[in-house]
Amino acid sequence: MSHLRVLICRVDDEEQPDQMTELHSFDLTDIDPEQMKPETALDELETGVLTIGQEVMRHLLRSQWEEVDKLLVEQYQEHFSPSGGEA
């Protein structure tokens, strides 16, 4: 049996554009259509997609913010370094 998985990966465009580093993965819950009520099946599916979607966005944004924070810290350190930058 198979299932769906959402991946958040980092890709180094310059050095190795085909290589990805997995940051997070999310497995979508298995759905048994026979266990679902036809009247509420679409609502149940939508709720599941919204829940995993919010989790994916939270991790995606956190990963992006960590990268920005890392870059800003490096720039700050270079700018105020005793060996270079402004005195």
pLDDT tens per residue, range 15-47: 787 899 999 999 888 888 888 999 999 999 899
Whose tokens are 């679409």? That residue is 42
Measured CA to CA, the distance from residue 81 to residue 72 in angstroms comes to 14
Which residue in 5, 1, 3, 14 sits closest to 52, CA to CA? Answer: 5
Which residue in 22, 29, 34, 21 sits closest to 4, CA to CA? Answer: 29
pLDDT reported for residue 30? 83
Q: Give the model's confidence band at 3: pLDDT under 50 very low, under 70 low, under 90 confident, else very high.
A: confident
Contact between 29 and 47 under an 8 Å Cβ cutoff? The reply is: no
Tens digits of per-residue pLDDT, 54-75?
A: 999 999 999 999 999 999 999 9
